Structure 1
Amino acid sequence: MSDPVALTDPHSAGDAELAFEGALRPKTLDEFVGQRRVRGQLQLLLRAAELQDRTPDHILLAGPPGLGKTTLAMIVAYEGGRPLRMSSGPAIQHAGDLAAILSSLVSGEVLFIDEIHRMARSAEEMLYLAMEDFRIDIMVGKGAGATSVPLELAPFTLVGATTRAGLLPNPLRDRFGFTAHLEFYDEAELELVLARAARLLGLDIDGEAVAEIAGRCRGTPRIANRLLRRVRDYALVHGARPDVTSVKAALELYDVDPLGLDRLDRAVMTTMLERFGGGPVGLSTLAVSVGEEAETIEAVVEPFLVRIGLITRTPRGRVATPAAWRHFGLAGPGAEPSAGGAVPLVDDL
């Protein structure tokens, strides 16, 4: 049942896993599952650029992590037969960093900048001119003798990805010819993602088991693929067929409940329900209570809990919904707490 090469040759096992990771990423829009509207819009944009023999417009991909922004950037380059250069906002902390990247681009190249909202402000301002006129101004010398030297750039397509589009300055956002907002996947789409990944893994898994995993993926293909591999590992170690029973056992072992809540999600919810009576409770108070950073709670945990209706955000703090009380089997109010509760400090919201 086990593969002796995988057991005796760790390099072969690592190469196989890397090959699997690469194979999971679709190479064309036709292979890409979900995001039907965005796929149609991108297809039109790329086809129009091809017919006019020009570089496609700059593209901004906005949405939560794990929905396929990096994959779509790779597809834009692949479908146009263009080279791809990849970087990230946190790596571009000076205008000189961006100038070095832009000046080395070849004509028609696709530049992908992940988390573009985290670029340094000086680099953002340089990008305005580069995106609009394919030119940057480089300062030579210092003080009163400094002069600005224009540098012409090869035409390129910038694909920016962000999880927080609201943090992008308006002048930068307006220079993108097309902005795509990626949505969470429904369970039917996730089942297609999982079925494709299972084929690549050579995993014989039935439809009921796939549906069980899809229901716990938080609407995110990246999480779906990760959970599928944990199910594969469980079936391999226990010599079990990956049916719905082993799927439930594997995901219970990895602290993923039927709603997709993980350990941190449950810690946040049980703290709200048991220690604060369902709220209102401020963000910083909640973060200290569970031993996590407030930014992690706000950016990673809270969006999912709000989306599935377990908490609501109010001007006075976070409040657990009746569905949260029911899910955790706790006796609680049948409706959200009234406005008569204690009001948290303003800076605690």
Structure 2
Amino acid sequence: MSNETSAVAAPEDRDAEATVRPKRLAEFVGQQRVREQLEVLLHSALRRGSPPDHILLSGSPGLGKTTLSMIVATELGSGLRLTSGPAIERAGDLAAVLTSLSAGDVLFIDEIHRIARPAEELLYSAMEDFRVDVVVGKGPGATAIPLDVEPFTLVGATTRAGLLTGPMRDRFGFVGHLDFYEPDELERVLSRSAQILNIAITPDGAAEIASRSRGTPRIANRLLRRVRDYAEVRGAGVVDLPAARAALKVYDVDPLGLDRLDRAVLRALVENFGGGPVGLSTLAIAVGEQPDTVAEVCEPFLLRAGLLARTPRGRVATANAWRHLGRTPPPQIATPVTQAPEGLFNLDP
């Protein structure tokens, strides 16, 4: 059992996450602006009797991109096909998926920025003209066979919107960015999940878990299950404030929501490199992780928490990072700030 609070879902957690996923827009907590925009888009399409424009959802892992794609299909009363960018290695793989779609289906491609370039070029014509050209043969004798595709809606999800090519981004009629959640929104998520999972939870217990969930519903639900386990084994079976604090200490989640890997990154910056600047690859080697893991799992929250800064020369630990580790920051970076910035979870992306 992992004690990490990564927002990337582990296989053993997916069944539990599926149980608490909202099925309709009205059940979806948070992301008010994106939810309202999607409601208008989908209801308009239903009135016209035609598929809505293609949808691109961006944001950090665990904020609800996959859930929203499923909700889109449910609201439209359509079938849903799920795949991912890394799984589409060749144009033929994508052509097989596209030609198997029924009219009005929703195709969800997770991590769409990682789709292979030949497949991406094939997707252009499918998105615009509902047609794909399948090349048969090789060399001078190769022939392109046009195949019609039933009208469909593509929902693409990405954690790295900046890696999308311009032509790909331009083909989406709606682009929504999912922000980190406020603590009160996470408390509502936890209350809903606890009811579905038949977990006894108190308001102060929910508030404590929410405050350590890094603004991410997936992490909040994962911590809820771990606190439930602790409460059942070492407590009275109720997720209250004492149980939450004791359990999260066991699972190495500190009051800011930092886990072992987050603190390892900060310690490497402060203790190994004097606060930085240091390059991402070097930092990743120092903590024994892949650069993508540090960049996609740790950095977004550390940046928003005011513990890490990016500079042209590399990553730098802020004065708050030094203080969080119980160290005195050097005079050149010391500031009077003694806590994380106000509005921790509502900073502009």
Structure 2 length as normaliser, TM-score?
Answer: 0.89
Question: Helix, strand or coil for the counterpart of 1:117?
Answer: helix
Specify whether residues 335 and 221 from structure 1 end up closer, same or farther in structure 2 by C-alpha distance, changes over 3 A only.
farther
2:71 matched residue in structure 1: 75
Q: CA deviation at 1:336?
A: 2.0
Number of residues of Structure 1 aligned to a counterpart in Structure 2:
321
For residues 116-131 of structure 1, what are the structure 2 equivalents within 5 Å?
A: 116-131=112-127
1:331 matched residue in structure 2: 328
- The correspondence for 2:307, drawn from 306, 310, 315, is 310
Whichever of the two has the greater Rg, that structure is 1
Question: Helix, strand or coil for the counterpart of 1:34?
Answer: coil
For residues 176-325 of structure 1, what are the structure 2 equivalents within 5 Å?
A: 176-240=172-236, 241-325=238-322
Following the alignment from structure 1 to structure 2, what is the Cα–Cα distance between the partners of residues 298 and 230?
26
CA contact (8 A) 2:235 2:243 kept: no
Question: Helix, strand or coil for the counterpart of 2:77?
Answer: coil
Bigger shift: 296-305 or 77-86? 296-305
Bigger shift: 283-292 or 74-83? 283-292
Deviations 1:313-341 (A, max 9, x none): 1122222111112222112225528xxxx
Specify whether residues 95 and 227 from structure 1 end up closer, same or farther in structure 2 by C-alpha distance, changes over 3 A only.
same
CA contact (8 A) 2:60 2:300 kept: no
Following the alignment from structure 2 to structure 1, what is the Cα–Cα distance between the partners of residues 292 and 153?
32
Question: Helix, strand or coil for the counterpart of 2:248?
Answer: helix
Specify whether residues 292 and 140 from structure 1 end up closer, same or farther in structure 2 by C-alpha distance, changes over 3 A only.
closer
CA contact (8 A) 1:271 1:286 kept: yes
CA contact (8 A) 1:135 1:152 kept: yes
Q: CA deviation at 1:188?
A: 0.7
Question: Helix, strand or coil for the counterpart of 1:23?
Answer: helix
Residue ranges of structure 2 left out of the alignment (5+ in a row): 1-12, 335-349
- AA matched with 1:281: V
Following the alignment from structure 1 to structure 2, what is the Cα–Cα distance between the partners of residues 300 and 48?
36
Question: Helix, strand or coil for the counterpart of 1:30?
Answer: helix
Deviations 1:111-164 (A, max 9, x none): 111111111100000000000000011122332222222111110111111111
- AA matched with 1:84: L
Deviations 1:25-84 (A, max 9, x none): 111100000000000100000011011110111101111100000000000000111011
Deviations 1:224-251 (A, max 9, x none): 0000000000011114232111111101
CA contact (8 A) 1:38 1:180 kept: yes
1:94 matched residue in structure 2: 90
Question: Helix, strand or coil for the counterpart of 2:73?
Answer: helix
Deviations 1:155-188 (A, max 9, x none): 0111111111111111111001101111110101
- AA matched with 2:322: W
Specify whether residues 47 and 138 from structure 1 end up closer, same or farther in structure 2 by C-alpha distance, changes over 3 A only.
same
Give aligned-pair identity as a percent: 64
- AA matched with 1:285: T
Q: Which has the higher contact order (CA 8 A, sep 6+)?
A: 2
CA contact (8 A) 1:322 1:334 kept: no
- What's the RMSD between the two structures over aligned residues? 1.5
Following the alignment from structure 1 to structure 2, what is the Cα–Cα distance between the partners of residues 219 and 18?
19
Following the alignment from structure 1 to structure 2, what is the Cα–Cα distance between the partners of residues 88 and 201?
29
Question: Helix, strand or coil for the counterpart of 1:85?
Answer: strand
Question: Helix, strand or coil for the counterpart of 2:277?
Answer: coil
Q: CA deviation at 1:279?
A: 1.9
2:109 matched residue in structure 1: 113
Whether 2:61 is the aligned partner of 1:65: answer: yes
CA contact (8 A) 2:125 2:131 kept: yes
Deviations 1:301-320 (A, max 9, x none): 12211110011111222221
- AA matched with 1:249: A
Question: Helix, strand or coil for the counterpart of 1:129?
Answer: helix
Question: Helix, strand or coil for the counterpart of 2:63?
Answer: coil
